[in-house]
Every structure is written in structure tokens, then in C-alpha cells.
Amino acid sequence: MRKISWGKRAFKVFVKQWRWEGDNVGLKAAETMRSNVAQTLLSIQRMPTIGRLCKQSGDKTYRLMWTHPKSALYYWYNDKEIRIVRFILAARMKVQL
């Protein structure tokens, strides 16, 4: 199975949103968000082609996978690794990937 790794920026945004959910919506919401991301990562690890194809560059294929109606993961993968490049909130979906 491919190894999953997070980019610093992607992980920082994820943790910031997770904390915001816990502080402003509730601990249950934060846990649901974390659980959704974990389930999505398992799905991606089992079948990296599951996400929507966004771009191909060399040996990397970039894809987008929704974790929740409010968030998505943007990732690339190759034969050895799945790299989470961005954690995107729905309000920011118009940002160029």
C-alpha cells in the first residue's frame, strides 16, 4: 500500500479547521470532521484513482476528493506515495489548485 504524507500547509489548515470546529461547533463536530478525513484517506489509499482527476505531471497524478460537503483533499500520487497537497474548505473552492 502507498504511504500517505501531508504537506505542511495542508496539515496546518486541517488542524486549524479541526480546532475551530471543536471550539465553535462542538467536540462531536470536530471528531466527525477528523473521522471523515481519516475515512477518505483510507479510501484514497485503497484506490488512489477514486478522486476527481485534476492534472497529470510526470509520474504524479493530481486528484480532488471530498471529505465532507464542506471540505476536500487535493493530492497527488505515484507508485510509492500519496501526498496531501491541500486541505480545502468549500468556501475557498474557487481558489486555483
25 lies in some domain: yes
What is the per-residue pLDDT for 58?
A: 85
Which of the 8 DSSP states describes residue 21? H
What CATH number does residue 52 fall under? Answer: 3.30.2310.20
What is the per-residue pLDDT for 1?
A: 85
97 lies in some domain: no
Q: Domain range for residue 11? A: 3-92
69 lies in some domain: yes
Beta strands in 29-80 (DSSP E): 52-57, 60-68, 71-77
pLDDT band at 90 (very low <50, low <70, confident <90, very high): confident
Q: Say if strands 81-89 and 71-77 run parallel, antiparallel, or are unpaired.
A: antiparallel
Q: What 3-state class would DSSP assign to 72?
A: strand
Count how many domains the chain has.
Answer: 1
Helix axes 8-24, 27-46, angle to 10 degrees: 150
